[in-house]
A and B are shown apart, each in its own frame.
Chain A
């Protein structure tokens, strides 16, 4: 759908925990998501070109985001699909390994990103949504 309807969020992102990282070092962070019962989101590789994959992206600074690691999807046979589709349900975590440049400014900072997803249940689909994700950093 073209516009995002604000009132129909079925996926909640857990509040950010602080990530401590050394300059020149790396640290892992997980975005924790929880879906309302009965709903699913497509995995990052849904196996159908028409389906919208979940995708986590990060800004280019103050940290460098490495590869984003998606959890293993469930293959669900839904009432509307002839073949099982690759989805996430319930709670799941998407990991990212961050690297702090050696020249990074020490102190408190924020790493901002976006999570795009599209949720459905057996009877209907909600519009694709893009939500902001923010990590509080302690760069040492």
Chain B
């Protein structure tokens, strides 16, 4: 009886030890993965030209969720700004003009406000300045994913493929330079056009295909 008891006890301990080892390995793996997820490599906006633009989901003035991915296929001017930012005021009239001039050519301006006080201050500001482009409310998460946004304005030009074409911290270039950069991106051939579109173009170009 006691031997049986002992045997059962030893077996139980062995099973526990095996289980513990397995669980232990599992938990180590899990914790390594978790650490890696918690500390992503530092993202530096200035070094990110040519890289995919970090995705975000933010609310617009109507409470509608806007995903940056929704704009893939368009050239986007993404402006991080705030109502308290004096230099931002210089660029806003330019961006209003760009939205008006290029919106039918596959272009959009997105203004991400980083105001702590939210829509209470943003709405009257947008109305006063008759801002005609889509305004979103930023948050800490989007700030972190764009490298911390140490200064405003921070403006990105994004290609139709969703890659960062240029980064401008502060008012670093004039209206005409911005306009030329947008025009160049709009004229650039689409690097990753859908195959169906290519096929359709090839069909149209084939002699006698009409």
Contact = CB atoms under 8 A, between A and B. Distances in A.
Interface in A83-136: 85, 118, 120-128
Interface stretch (B21-29, B81-89, B100-108): B81-89
A126 B149 CA distance: 9
B55 interface: no
A3 B147 CA distance: 12
Contacts, number: 74
In the complex, which range does the number of interface residues on chain B fall in?
A: 20 to 34
A123 B87 contact: yes
B152 A124 contact: yes
A1 B152 CA distance: 8
A75 to B, nearest CB: 14
A27 interface: no
A51 B84 contact: yes
Consensus secondary structure, chain A interface: loop
Given A3-B143, A8-B150, A122 B125 contact: no
A14 interface: no
A121 B139 CA distance: 24
A135 B101 CA distance: 57
Given A2-B139, A2-B140, A3-B143, A124 B83 contact: no
Nearest to A119: B151
B153 A124 contact: yes
A1 B86 contact: no
Interface in B134-180: 138-140, 143-144, 148-153, 169-172
30 contacts: A1-B82, A1-B143, A1-B149, A2-B138, A2-B140, A3-B140, A3-B143, A3-B148, A5-B148, A8-B150, A50-B84, A50-B125, A78-B86, A80-B90, A81-B86, A85-B86, A122-B87, A122-B171, A123-B87, A124-B85, A124-B87, A124-B151, A124-B153, A125-B84, A125-B85, A125-B86, A125-B152, A127-B149, A127-B152, A128-B116
Identify the 9 closest CB pairs spanning chains A and B, nearest first. Answer: A124-B170, A123-B170, A124-B151, A1-B114, A125-B85, A50-B83, A80-B86, A3-B140, A80-B87
Given A1-B114, A121-B170, 17 more contacts: A1-B152, A2-B114, A3-B143, A3-B148, A7-B150, A8-B151, A50-B83, A52-B84, A79-B90, A85-B86, A118-B84, A120-B86, A122-B171, A123-B171, A124-B153, A125-B82, A127-B152
